[in-house]
């Protein structure tokens, strides 16, 4: 398969799958005897990324691999295509998620010490059910409280390859900004790979 055919096949796979594809998943599209080298796949991905320049879609590398997504500036208009709205996230949920992301691994008690209020169990359950946080261990203190950390899916939602790419706290001026990003990212995952939107709805815990 020549480079142009390889690029076209990867574009088709990314559009059809609707989720990030990792390197081995991409190479797994081929029989073992025809499987392209990693360097060939990366060159094809680079070519596809350049081809997306100036188009409404972009190729983005996230923690789980690569995905095609609509550029954020088209979200307001495209949101009108969907009647069902993704949930808006409460400030308490966003603050809890931010503490886990920036201070992980962290216990529920440590979150409560920083925020000064008890963590609503529904918040932890919501974040866990969405696949954004998980238990990564236990603190070696009496009671052995659970240590919470973020997941690869959390990185994918924010379009990040790793935690080092998180914006600095100083750059994150307001929790409402985080909410907007989360709502948009949540919609990206819920819709086909070539469509995305940001919507308003009732706040969740």
Q: What is the pLDDT of residues 116-154, one digit of tens each?
A: 999 999 999 999 999 999 999 999 999 899 999 999 999
Chain segment 58-91, per-residue pLDDT in tens = 999 999 999 999 998 988 888 888 776 656 788 8
Cα 86 to Cα 88: distance, rounded to the nearest angstrom: 7
| Whole-Å CA distances, 18 to 29, 52, 126, 190 | 15, 17, 23, 9
Query: Nearest CA to 6 among 16, 21, 35, 20?
Result: 35
Model confidence at 189, pLDDT cuts 50, 70, 90, reads: very low
Encoded tokens for 77: 């208009």
Residues 156-181 have pLDDT tens digits of: 988 899 998 888 765 555 555 554 44
Q: What is the 3-state secondary structure (H, E, C) of the chain?
A: CCHHHHHHHHHHHHHHHCCCECHHHHHCCCCHHHCCCHHHHHHHHHHHHHHHCCCCEEEEEECCEEEEEECHHHHHHHHHHCCCCCCEECHHHHHHHHHHHHHCCECHHHHHHHHCCCCCHHHHHHHHHCCCEEEEEECCCCCCCEEEEECHHHHHHCCCCCHHHCCCCCCCCCHHHHHHHHHHHHHHHHCCCCCCCCCCCCEEC
pTM of the model: 0.69
Number of CB atoms found within 10 A of residue 42's CB: 13
């Amino acid at each position: 398969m020549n480079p142009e055919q390889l690029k076209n096949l990867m574009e088709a796979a990314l559009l059809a799958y609707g989720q990030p594809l990792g390197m081995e998943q991409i190479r797994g599209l081929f029989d073992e005897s025809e499987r392209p080298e990693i360097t060939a796949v990366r060159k094809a991905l680079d070519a596809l990324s350049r081809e997306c320049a100036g188009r409404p879609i972009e190729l983005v590398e996230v923690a789980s691999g690569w995905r095609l997504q609509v550029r954020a500036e088209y979200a307001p208009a495209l949101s009108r295509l969907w009647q069902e709205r993704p949930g808006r996230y409460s400030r308490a949920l966003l603050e809890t998620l931010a503490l886990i992301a920036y201070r992980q691994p962290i216990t529920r008690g440590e979150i409560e010490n920083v925020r000064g209020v008890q963590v609503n169990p529904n918040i932890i359950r919501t974040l866990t059910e969405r696949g954004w946080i998980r238990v990564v261990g236990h603190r070696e203190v009496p009671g052995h409280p659970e240590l919470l950390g973020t997941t690869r899916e959390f990185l994918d939602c924010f379009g990040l390859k790793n935690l080092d790419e998180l914006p600095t706290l100083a750059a994150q001026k307001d929790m409402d900004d985080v909410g907007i990003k989360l709502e948009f990212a949540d919609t990206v995952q819920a819709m086909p790979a070539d469509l995305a939107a940001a919507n308003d709805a009732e706040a969740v815990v």
